[in-house]
Amino acid sequence: MVAKNKILIVDDDANIAELISLYLAKECFNTEIVGDGESALRSVKSYQPDLILLDLMLPGIDGYQVCREVRASSDIPVIMLSAKGEVFDKVLGLELGADDYMEKPFDSKELVARVKAVLRRYKTKGTASEPEEAADKIVSYPDLIINLTNYSVTCRGQHVDMPPKELELFYFLASSPGRVFTREQLLDRIWGYDYVGDTRTVDVHIKRIREKTGSSPNWKISTIWGIGYKFEQLH
């Protein structure tokens, strides 16, 4: 019998949490509900969920801090939930390592679809250590090393912290220097063809990569207006 995926629902609105739990139970997920940040961090250790649905506005420790602490010790997928739809809130959530961001109110079918899509991506990532894929996946330039095997980035001799999706996007672009990719192509490749977010997700991640790596005389990520992005070697 296939084990059910476990979803930790973190929301101080009991009615919303119960509704989410009901939607997921119909799709054969196991769920646990907690109503504050401190309880969420305890449940991450005791319940060991496969994915966390995390509301931002929580009593005590807010969702941003919970995400930060989860990311410090785990790569459990996190989908943030919030009534705050400002770009800044989305950027901050993604910067802290969230895998997706949904605005309230949301459609139950879309929520379930996003949960399934994020879980699929993580399962795919988890199989990357099979024998035929055992060789290190590394892209290197004079002042840049992107290692997809151990999920590390070194820029001008300094380690750069990046959440998984940022690093995967960076590696993918750097692996094909000079090639232009549309935002849709990058969404399909990095987030999966069934990802139901919009192309601004790509823009947010590119912005964060540029901010973290700064400018280099050897390479850059160029914006191709109206189309997408490309990684360029400079000489």
For 41-72, the pLDDT digits (tens) are: 999 999 999 999 999 888 888 888 999 888 88
Q: Do residue 43 and residue 146 come from a single domain?
A: no
Q: Do residue 142 and residue 193 come from a single domain?
A: yes
What CATH number is associated with residue 54? 3.40.50.2300
- pLDDT above 60 for 226: yes
Q: Do residue 26 and residue 92 come from a single domain?
A: yes
Q: 147 φ, ψ to 5°?
A: -110, 110
In a domain, 1, yes or no: no
How confident is the model at residue 191, as a pLDDT? 78
Q: CA distances (Å), 1 to each of 32, 44, 123, 149, in order?
A: 21, 24, 18, 31
Q: CA distances (Å), 149 to each of 129, 136, 139, 171, in order?
A: 8, 5, 11, 11
Task: For residues 183-210, give the mean pLDDT.
Answer: 80
Q: Do residue 120 and residue 17 come from a single domain?
A: yes
In a domain, 99, yes or no: yes
What CATH number is associated with residue 183? 1.10.10.10
Using the 3D structure, point to which of 96, 126, 156 is the last residue of a domain: 126
Q: Do residue 43 and residue 97 come from a single domain?
A: yes
pTM passes above 0.85: no
Q: Do residue 164 and residue 115 come from a single domain?
A: no
Q: Do residue 218 and residue 137 come from a single domain?
A: yes
Structure tokens at 126: 């988890």
Using the 3D structure, point to which of 101, 126, 151 is the last residue of a domain: 126
Q: Do residue 10 and residue 99 come from a single domain?
A: yes
Q: 218 φ, ψ to 5°?
A: -105, -25
- Residue 179: which domain range? 131-233
In a domain, 201, yes or no: yes
Using the 3D structure, point to which of 126, 158, 184 is the last residue of a domain: 126
Total structural domains in the chain? 2
Nearest to 144 by CA among 210, 75, 62, 223: 210
In a domain, 107, yes or no: yes
Q: Do residue 77 and residue 120 come from a single domain?
A: yes
Q: Do residue 61 and residue 104 come from a single domain?
A: yes
Give percent of the chain above pLDDT 90.
42
In a domain, 218, yes or no: yes
For 78-91, the pLDDT digits (tens) are: 998 887 666 666 67
Q: Do residue 71 and residue 142 come from a single domain?
A: no
Q: CA 188, CA 197: separation in Å to the nearest integer?
A: 11
Structure tokens at 67: 């995400």
Q: Do residue 85 and residue 177 come from a single domain?
A: no
How confident is the model at residue 22, as a pLDDT? 93
In a domain, 122, yes or no: yes
3 state SS of 231: strand
Q: CA distances (Å), 148 to each of 13, 105, 143, 199, in order?
A: 39, 36, 17, 23
